[in-house]
A = this chain, B = another copy of it.
Amino acid sequence: MKTIGLGEAASLIPDGASVMIGGFMGVGTPERVIDELVRRGTGNLTVIANDTAMPGVGIGKLIRAGLVRRAIVSHIGLNPETQQQMIAGKTDVELVPQGTLIERIRAGGFGLGGVLTATGVGTVVEKGKATITLDGKTYLVERPLRADFALVSAFAADYLGNLQYALTARNFNPVIAMAADVVIVDAEHIVPTGVIAPDHVMTPAPLVDYLVAH
């Protein structure tokens, strides 16, 4: 794990990168990193996240700045700007059931070739997907998702990179931290090694590549 400045962290991410971003309606999203991406105008991004939050909040800032070429998310209901960009053909939106989305990301991080789920069978979600019938029940074969970068928001990080999340800001964060080539963490608190007890570590240090300095 390396500690770097905010600008340096954002500069690691090139135009066209795929980026997993933590957060649920903006709660648990690394706002500082998002702001810096907007400032730099890093564009043509593929964003994998639960949602695009609200206009001007969290991932909604990337949407508003027109930086998102493709979004793989479970809903965009609270962000009409995403809906407008989708209809205008500026942003491709792939809608994935939330439980399937997080399980596909987990599969990407946990080295699985995919998972079988009944969610989406017989709906539009099935389109273009392999199905498998086992013991008389039909499942979709859902493939792993990975990204170039994971942008993780943590409550606390220790000097080694061990992470702790708080309350419902946990959501996608520990899962995306497993599923990207480069993991960048913005933590609200940076604490000395040992301050987070082993049983309370939610993302072990070796998963973290960069911690944004305070």
User: Which residues of A are in contact with B by a Cβ distance under 8 Å?
Assistant: 103, 107, 110-118, 130, 132, 134, 137, 139, 141, 143, 164-167, 170, 198-200
Contacts and interface: CB of A to CB of B under 8 A. Distances in A.
Contacts of A132: 113, 132, 141
**Copy count, this protein chain:** 2
Given A132-B132, A132-B141, A134-B143, A199 B167 contact: yes
A166 B112 contact: no
B199 A166 contact: yes
Nearest to A164: B199
Given A132-B141, A170-B199, 9 more contacts: A112-B115, A112-B116, A112-B117, A113-B139, A114-B134, A115-B116, A116-B141, A165-B199, A166-B199
A70 B130 CA distance: 35
Contacts of A116: 107, 112-116, 141
A143 B137 CA distance: 12
